[in-house]
Amino acid sequence: MTAALIWQPFVGMMILTFVVWIVMYRRRIRHIRAERIHPQKLKTPEALNALMPEEVAYPANNLRNLFELPVIFYALCIYVVVSGEFDVTYLVAAWLFLLLRCAHSYVHCTSNHVYTRFRLYAASSFALWFMVGHAIVDRVA
């Protein structure tokens, strides 16, 4: 098994981030056009948030979320390849992290059911922290 396989979930996270970014702008632009909001009224994040209904803001909130823990995921994937510490455990955890983050983003951008969203977030976080712990054990051992 080659360490290059870790790039698949790595790129998958990038694609997920891009998709959420597209969804965010489509919803914002659609709302701005429908409500005929002058762009000058949106010059600060606070002004933008005040003029956007919750369902329009969901993807923006999710996009911010994709620049929190996933940053550790990206760094860890690079570390695994560079250090030569790659094994199937990392690969399984990386795919699990990606799939759970996809599900989390879907819920966050649609129904935004908080309990479901939290469970998916917690499970994806566990997969990531498992990877971190595995890296620490590999490095110490």
The tens digit of pLDDT for each residue in 114-131 reads 999 999 999 999 999 999
Tell me the C-alpha to C-alpha distance, in Å, between residue 12 and each of 17, 19, 30, 47. Answer: 9, 10, 27, 33
Check whether 1 has a pLDDT greater than 90.
no
At 138 the pLDDT is: 87
Identity of the residue numbered 33: R
User: Torsion-angle region of residue 112: left (phi > 0), alpha (psi -120 to 50) or beta?
Assistant: left
At 140 the pLDDT is: 82
pTM of the entire predicted model: 0.94
CATH number of 3-140: 1.20.120.550
Report percent pLDDT > 90 for the chain. 95
Check whether 112 has a pLDDT greater than 80.
yes
